[in-house]
Structure 1
Amino acid sequence: MNDRSELLSQLPLRENLRGLSPYGAPQIDVPIQLNVNENTHPLPTSVVDAIAQEVAKAATTLNRYPDREFTELRELLADYLGHNLDRENIWAANGSNEILQQILQAFGGPGRSLLSFVPTYSMYPLLASGTDTQFIAGTRAEDFTLSAESAAAQVRTHRPNVIFLCSPNNPTGTALGLDVIQAVYEVASETKAIVVVDEAYAEFSLANTKSALTLLDGRQRLIISRTMSKAFGLAGARVGYLAAAPEVTDAIRLVRLPYHLSAVTQATAIAALKNIDLLLAQVEEIKTQRDRIVTRLTELGLKPSVSDSNFVFFGGLEDPHTIWQGLLDAGIIVRDNGIKGTLRVTAGTESETTAFLEHLATLLGAQK
């Protein structure tokens, strides 16, 4: 045990936090970073200029607290989502992780439980621990899919207070059918459980994939979580948001910190939403590179999953760590999620994607 770990163990830490490790992918400075599902395209210059202007305007009032209700931002987000939503249906926070944390602060906590279906986003159990909510690891099929029947049966068995459905799922990249969400919500109604659909990658979905936003009307305990980190290329700005019944946003207000969204954060997000067409134009290019990765990996004899996201999860590797290290040695970092025989790669720019595919082919050839 190192000195810091020893010192940490001496603190009166909550018991459910002992032995945990903080979330975090490796932060390694290499030329091509394809491991954390960022939008690797730089923001268009005109959008950078628009953000700078909005932030400069906000800077003149930084001696005052920001709009606690971030009204303009909520109105713009509602307009973007459509589906007859208005600002009363919208809440925002510092990244979708804070959105999920606030949901657990309001509806989870001691004596309550969160169910999700692993493998899925690795922050879920950590968010549960941070709010003293019991995490229940549901299961998926061998190919990592989740059927309506299986999901509903597990909800009925465990009777959780909150359910997180990641769609498209991370790390596997495939979206859930609406039948899964409907089945989970119906069973969850027996115990009045909250159902959260985490749609962080929704903008990258395939053409025939429908958003859970289409199910929101009339479902009081359904929450759709989104982020501006991925499709909008604002990972560094930390802006997440949710759509739900107005009474859900009222519940979140009970646990939010005062003035939790800074004036600078609000200004950045507002400028981005006012230039949304320029930002979403990059989404189509990213989807093109994602589909190119899927096609080439299949040609190489690997097994990529169907991807509704900006990344590709693929199996068929005899020694994924050696491949991961070989790519890193070439200046390319991808994600090793610790799932046997698999890796995950973000769809980057055309040149980044080419470099990844060429080096991967070379490494696979060297293993034969």
Structure 2
Amino acid sequence: MTSLDDLPIRADLRGRTPYGAPQAHVRVALNVNENTHPVPESVAHDIVASLAAAILTINRYPDREFGELRDGLATYLGHGLTRDNVWAANGSNEVLQQILQAFGGPGRSVLGFPPTYSMHSIIASATGTQWVEGARDEGYEISPETAVREIDRTAPDVVFFCSPNNPTGTPVSLSTIEAAYDATDGIVVVDEAYAEFLPQGNATALTLLEGRDRLLVSRTMSKAFAFAGARVGYLAAAPVITDALRLVRLPYHLSALTQAAATAALRHSDQMLAMVDDIKAQRDRILTELPALGYAPLPSWSNFVLFGGVADPAATFEALLARGVLIRDVGIPNTLRVSAGTEAETTAFLEALAALGDPTSGPSTKLDR
């Protein structure tokens, strides 16, 4: 056998390509919405000590119910949640996959609202769940009326919202989530991977959980906690939801090392989240400075900015890469997306973009010497 097509792969997977952002060793990588700030040294020492303790019993299977981690996550989230309301897995992608394993699958459908996080449709495909696309309003918003209309039109078993939305950075209002929940008998999932970057005073979907057993709020430690390499995602929901997810999870799916590292990080949540304000400041700086360079950024409630006015996204992407700055072409015409990094990284991006010249005429290929 010489190619994937020679294998007896599932028919619905033929012709597909795996998910993956471009990877390159560059001085400034702002393409996958990571938190580019390092873990504080004092926190890192505690995490290492916790990992060392876990290693001493690594010959035994980990706590299958990861109770200490769920306690830590519940305390962090607040809103009266307990460990019974919390579930965790190896990144929020695995959480979403388990949701569709339990509530999706062959003969069932999930409604999403593109442009949105591309893994939503990929996970749907991987679980044999039909992916159904709903329409958005102007400015990538989703009004309550639009959400209800699309649910009535498609009759999905599961509804996915991403708030703030990736790649646009736009929020989904609580009134939209409430209306969607009331319009369906199925599961409603709110992917809040970027919730910690919301403007001050804005409530999250966690406030809607009480009395709504079919509402699930997915989170991650990858972004605000600078824990992307640890792969820890989680959700908050009614206890009956965690019972359902136990039916599809693999045995001992969270390693002892993952549990130890995440639990230690949560003990220092104040320190871990201290960098969020700086990231938000750099995001707002990008929003302020891009128009002066001739670009049109969308309002963002996340740790990244999608900006329009790019005459040739592919050429601009390559020109920035040649200057050591990696951002993301998400496939939306005349746009690119950049993560908010440290002050130095943000400066490097803005200076590199300014060096490209007038965005309406395409980037300059001349490199400064």
The TM-score range, normalised by the shorter chain, is: over 0.9
Counterpart check, 1:183 vs 2:176: no
Which shifted more, 12-21 or 261-270? 12-21
Alignment partner, residue 309 of structure 1: 302
Pick one of 80, 84, 90 that aligns with 2:80: 84
SS at match of 1:197: strand
Alignment partner, residue 115 of structure 1: 111
Counterpart check, 1:203 vs 2:196: yes
The amino acid of 1:275's aligned partner reads H
Please give the residue correspondences for 1:97-136 in structure 2 after superposition, counting only pairs within 5 Å.
Answer: 97-136=93-132
The amino acid of 2:281's aligned partner reads T
SS at match of 1:143: helix
**What is the CA deviation profile of residues 83-133 of structure 1, one whole-angstrom value per residue up to 9, with x for unaligned ones?**
010000000000000000000000000100011000000001110111000
Pick one of 257, 279, 283 that aligns with 2:276: 283
Q: Once the 2 structures are TM-superposed, how far is the Cα of residue 208 of structure 1 from its aligned partner?
A: 4.0
Pick one of 46, 50, 66 that aligns with 1:54: 50
Alignment partner, residue 243 of structure 2: 250
| Unpaired segments ≥5 residues, structure 2 | 362-369
Alignment partner, residue 60 of structure 2: 64
TM normalised by structure 1 equals 0.96
Q: Once the 2 structures are TM-superposed, how far is the Cα of residue 299 of structure 1 from its aligned partner?
A: 2.2
**What is the CA deviation profile of residues 292-330 of structure 1, one whole-angstrom value per residue up to 9, with x for unaligned ones?**
000001222321111111000111111122211111000
TM normalised by structure 2 equals 0.96
Alignment partner, residue 90 of structure 2: 94
How many residue pairs match? The answer is 361
Q: Once the 2 structures are TM-superposed, how far is the Cα of residue 141 of structure 1 from its aligned partner?
A: 2.6
SS at match of 1:136: strand
Q: Once the 2 structures are TM-superposed, how far is the Cα of residue 207 of structure 1 from its aligned partner?
A: 1.7
**What is the CA deviation profile of residues 217-237 of structure 1, one whole-angstrom value per residue up to 9, with x for unaligned ones?**
000100000000000000000
Alignment partner, residue 366 of structure 2: none
* Separation of aligned partners in 2, 1:186 and 1:298: 40
* Separation of aligned partners in 2, 1:165 and 1:306: 18
Contact 2:309 2:359 in 1 (8 A): no
Q: Once the 2 structures are TM-superposed, how far is the Cα of residue 14 of structure 1 from its aligned partner?
A: 1.1
**What is the CA deviation profile of residues 71-94 of structure 1, one whole-angstrom value per residue up to 9, with x for unaligned ones?**
000001000000010000000000
Residue identity over aligned pairs, in percent, reads 60
Please give the residue correspondences for 1:1-368 in structure 2 after superposition, counting only pairs within 5 Å.
Answer: 7-188=3-184, 192-365=185-358
Contact 1:175 1:209 in 2 (8 A): no
Q: Once the 2 structures are TM-superposed, how far is the Cα of residue 264 of structure 1 from its aligned partner?
A: 0.2
**What is the CA deviation profile of residues 26-61 of structure 1, one whole-angstrom value per residue up to 9, with x for unaligned ones?**
011111000000000111111110110000000000
* Separation of aligned partners in 1, 2:201 and 2:289: 22
* Separation of aligned partners in 1, 2:351 and 2:199: 25
SS at match of 1:364: coil
